[in-house]
Every structure is written in structure tokens, then in C-alpha cells.
Amino acid sequence: MTGKSNFHVGRPNIGNRATLNERFSNILDQQWLTNNGPFLQQFEHEIARYCAVKHCVAVSNGTIALELAIRALGLTGEVILPSFTFIATAHALSWHGIRPVFCDINPITLCIDPNQVEALVTPATSAIMGVHVYGHACDVAALGHVAAANHIPLVFDAAHAVGCTYGGRPIGNFGACEVFSFHATKVLNSIEGGAITTNDDGLADRLRRLRNFGFPGDGRDVTVELGTNGKMNEFCAAMGLTNLEHLESFIAVNKANYAAYSAGLAGLPGLELFEFDAAEKNNYQYVIVRVRESLFGHTRDALIQALQSQGVLARRYFSPGCHAMEPYATADPGLADRLPVTETVSREVLALPTGTQLGPADIEKICDILRTVHAAG
């Protein structure tokens, strides 16, 4: 291969620009920039319809969505979650004075291992928080049994999982609520944004109050409880609507890219492609390989350097696990010994470029680089 390419993980998907510009102009003409505007209301309605769930409460970003869910559910003490997740999952809990209790993951699904959750429950446990890693759904049923047996709520960080299903039902319907991210790098982006979905009427009402300073939403200018400012503005809602209209086409491109990688990496020892459940709908937003040094001949980090030298910007995602970052590493330095699967996976995972900016020819180039690196030993 000659010359350098320029392929990145996380390039944003962007829908029809003419439609987006028309919506932006409408916002400026109406001079309704935020505060539960018409595009925000429409976006919430369409997300709820897409996920086949009763309520969608859209907010300014995914981290605020987590924090509002934590607050609305009245969580305290400890919450069990995987360390193999983006740091926001743990930080949202810590920000509210809750101790994250990290659980190891299933080595195949890379989601929290329900078999290990039960042993971590204590009288201080107020919830279990699963994470649908790379859009692969957690074992919702098994986690639900543990939560029900201990009379605690089950919450899901579904940041990766718009357009995915569990048992044929759309993600967004499970647990007390599910939390989405619409950050620019997600399959569906609103530039920046997030949402909480739920089938619980009372919880949805409280979430709407909490995102707007605690105002009751009936026109009164008197707060009824402590709240914050988590509102999504109209421009982000318009972007979200525009991209939602093209979501299925984004997913189709991702699926084609995933198939191209699967073919291109076939027979290449030491690069193990993360597999999705063919019985479920997936968004294929992440192409993840695990780099087995003993077979591939290079560590994951050495491979990243080789890719970067050729203009391919892959990511360590997630690496390290939350338990190995601050403030958690200092607070409990023995965590690594109790999370052996997380430790191993975090050293091996690599996210390769995909999305609507790439096509089969680009992926063939990336696979060619990977084969060249392996051949060079």
C-alpha cells in the first residue's frame, strides 16, 4: 500500500443538509430556541415511537441523562455496574455521592456478568446499572431476576444501543428506564444530547421536572422540588430529527462495513472480530477487534501505532476500565485483581473506523494494512 489514508473512528453521521438548514431557519424565524420547543417535542415523540416506548425525555447530553435518572429514582449508597464502560457511567454515580461497585463482564458479550452481580449486592445497594456494550444488549432477563429478588431497580446505560433489540423488542423498553446518548460519535446524533426512555408515567413526569429546575410544567413559576438545567435546545433537536429520518440508512452502511471487515479479516490470526447476535437487530456502529498478541505478533497498542502511521486513527475503546482511572484506582487499588476479564479485554480491544464516511474500498485498505502489519511480525 502506498500513501497515507485518513480514516477516523467517530466521524459523525449527518442526514439531509437541506432539511437540516430549513429546520434551523425555522427556529431562527420562530425565535424559539429552547425551553420545550416544537422540534424538541417532535424529537421526543419520534424517539418514543421508534423505540416503541411510552416516554422519551430528551436532555442536553448523555451524562446529564444518567444523572437525572439517578436522581429521579432516588438512588443512594451503592450501585453495581461494569467497569468496562465509558467513564461517564461511573462518574454520574460518584457525582451524586453514590459508590460505584464494579462487576466483571462476560468474556463473549462484554456486558456485565449477571452471575457475578448477586455476590456484590449489600444492604447499601440501591440499583443495578447494566451497559449495552457496543449495542449488544445485556442479559436483561437474568439481571432482572437479580434486581427483583433484591427489590432494587434495574437501569440501563443504552448509550450505544439506539436501533438495537433484545428478544425482538427495541432497546429503550427495559428496566425502570434506559439512558441514551446522542453525542456526535453515536449512530444517531443530535450534535450533543441524550434521553431517558421509560414506560413509567410517574418517573417520566419527575424526569421532566428535574431537567427544568424542578418546575412542575403546568405554567407555574414556582419550583416543587430541587432540579437542574438539563434541557435540549431546538437546534440539537432539529439535528436529531433530521438524523433519525436517515437512521436506517446509517445502519445499513454500518452493516455493510461490518460485513466487509468480516470478509477482509477472515483467516488473519490474532484479530478476533466482536460478533453481534444475528437474531437481534443491531446498529453495527462499532467494529471491534480483540488483538491476541500471541497469535497476531503485536500488542494492541503496537498495532494502533502502526495504523496511525498510515493515517488510520483507531481507538482503545474501552481502555482502561473505569476501575483503573481516578478517583477509583486510588480509592480501591485491589480492584484489578477482582476484574480479570475486564483487565484482559481492556488490553485487547480496538475500535476500527466505520460509518457513513467509509466504503468497501476504504475498508479493504485498512484490512490490507492489518495484514501487512501481521506479516511483518
The whole-number pLDDT of residue 2 equals 42
Let me know if residue 221 belongs to a domain.
yes
Whether residue 132 sits in one domain with residue 36: yes
Cα–Cα distance measured from residue 80 to residue 77, given in angstroms and rounded to the nearest whole number: 10
The whole-number pLDDT of residue 347 equals 97
Whether residue 233 sits in one domain with residue 84: yes
pLDDT tens-digit map of 290-347: 999 999 999 999 999 999 999 999 999 999 999 999 999 999 999 999 999 999 999 9
Cα–Cα distance measured from residue 295 to residue 187, given in angstroms and rounded to the nearest whole number: 32
Whether residue 22 sits in one domain with residue 75: yes
Which run of H or of E encompasses 234?
Answer: helix 234-244
Whether residue 195 sits in one domain with residue 239: yes
Paired residues of 177 in beta bridges:
155
In this structure, the number of other CB atoms found within 10 A of the CB of residue 281 comes to 18
Whether residue 268 sits in one domain with residue 237: no
What's the domain count of the chain? 2
CATH of the domain at 73: 3.40.640.10
Q: Which of 184, 125, 124, 137 is nearest to 282 (CA)?
A: 137
The whole-number pLDDT of residue 1 equals 41
Whether residue 356 sits in one domain with residue 223: no
CATH of the domain at 370: 3.90.1150.10
Cα–Cα distance measured from residue 259 to residue 274, given in angstroms and rounded to the nearest whole number: 12
Whether residue 113 sits in one domain with residue 25: yes
- Decide: residue 201, CB within 10 A, 0-12 exposed, 13-18 middle, 19+ buried: exposed
Question: What's this model's pTM, rounded to 2 decimal places?
Answer: 0.96
Let me know if residue 1 belongs to a domain.
no
pLDDT tens-digit map of 202-256: 999 999 999 999 999 888 899 999 999 999 999 999 999 999 999 999 999 999 9
CA distances from 128 to 78, 80, 140, 150 (A): 9, 5, 11, 10
The whole-number pLDDT of residue 35 equals 95
Let me know if residue 2 belongs to a domain.
no
The whole-number pLDDT of residue 267 equals 94
Let me know if residue 351 belongs to a domain.
yes
The whole-number pLDDT of residue 219 equals 84
Chosen domain end from 244, 278, 303 = 244
Low-confidence ranges of the chain (pLDDT < 50): 1-3
Q: Which of 64, 59, 25, 7 is nearest to 242 (CA)?
A: 25
| Host domain of residue 320 | 247-376
